[in-house]
């Protein structure tokens, strides 16, 4: 994994991972890793500060819940309406960026 590539797209990856429904940190890590065939293997030290920042920005809502499997409560994150709008905006910017890069390096858009 290239940390610099992740740095510029982490928020987009996290918002998109929550589009399918509420998730806690471990689920987000697993979902992103599975969706990227292991290319992005998020670490807790990267994930949780980003989730907290997105929550403070109003894009996510976190709530502690006890999972059906039991154990200690975990913080489950849900995309807010503001987060859904931000996800749409970030997707649009990413698509524009991708088209621009493809214009330079070639290949199928």
Q: Which residue has the tokens 């996800």?
A: 87
* DSSP β-bridge partners for residue 74: 65
- Tokens of residue 56, six digits: 């403070």
Burial of 81 (0-12, 13-18, 19+ CB in 10 A): exposed
Please tell me the total count of domains within the chain.
1
Domain with 13 in it: what CATH number? 1.10.10.10
Which pLDDT value is given to residue 70? Answer: 84
pLDDT digits (tens, 9 = 90+) for 61-85: 999 999 888 889 999 999 999 999 9
pTM of the complete model? 0.88
Domain extent, residue 92, equals 3-106
- Tokens of residue 36, six digits: 């990227």
């Amino acid at each position: 994994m290239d940390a610099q590539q992740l740095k510029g797209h982490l928020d987009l990856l996290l918002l998109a991972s929550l589009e399918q429904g509420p998730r806690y940190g471990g689920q987000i890590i697993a979902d992103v890793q599975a969706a990227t065939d292991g290319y992005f293997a998020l670490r807790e030290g990267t994930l949780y500060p980003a989730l907290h920042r997105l929550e403070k920005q109003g894009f996510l809502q976190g709530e502690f819940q006890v999972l059906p499997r039991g154990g200690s409560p975990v913080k489950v994150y849900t995309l807010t309406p503001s987060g859904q709008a931000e996800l749409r905006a970030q997707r649009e910017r990413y698509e524009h960026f991708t088209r621009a890069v493809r214009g330079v390096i070639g290949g199928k858009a």
